[in-house]
Amino acid sequence: MTNGERSVTGDANGVETVSRDVQLINKYGLHARPATLIAQSAKTFKSEVVLIKGDEKVDAKSIFNLMTLAAEKGAKLTIRATGIDAKAAVDKIAALVEARFNEDD
């Protein structure tokens, strides 16, 4: 899957699974501040949200879990959400990553 491509599957109840691939482009990768921003953002959605790196999948609502990915600059991640607001959750977190978590450098 290329960067930014999205896949969607859904059911009749409005529960859908949305995935999107992103690449970490901020200077220091997924350190404490970005992990905190992702977790805070993920928690505002009802959907289950996970971040996948290689063969590891972690709960995006847990800062600790996100930190265990030890994802550095350039790392390719998949954001996947399942629930009634899956698309919004994935879009929001992808936007954070793409905005370099609003870091200055």
Partner 1 sequence: MAAKLLGFLDRDAIVTELNASTKEEAIRELVKVTVARGFVDAKHEDDLARGCLEREKKGTTGLGDGIAVPHVKESPHVKALCGAFGRSKQGVPFDAIDGKKVHLVFLILGAKGTAADHIAILKKLAGLRQNEHFLRFLKEAKDKDAIA
What are the residue numbers of the active site? Answer: 31
Q: Nearest approach, Cβ of 47 to partner 1 (angstroms)?
A: 17
User: Do the beta carbons of residue 30 and residue 67 sit within 8 Å?
Assistant: yes
Considering only 22, 42, 51, 63, the residue that binds partner 1 (CB under 8 A) is: 63
Question: Site map for partner 1, 20-39, x if CB under 8 A?
Answer: --------xxxxx--xx---
Q: Which of residues 4 and 72 has its CB atom nearest to partner 1 in the complex?
A: 72
Q: Is 84 within 8 Å of 14 (Cβ atoms)?
A: yes
Contact 79, 20 (CB under 8 A): yes
CB nearer to partner 1: pick between 30 and 81? 30
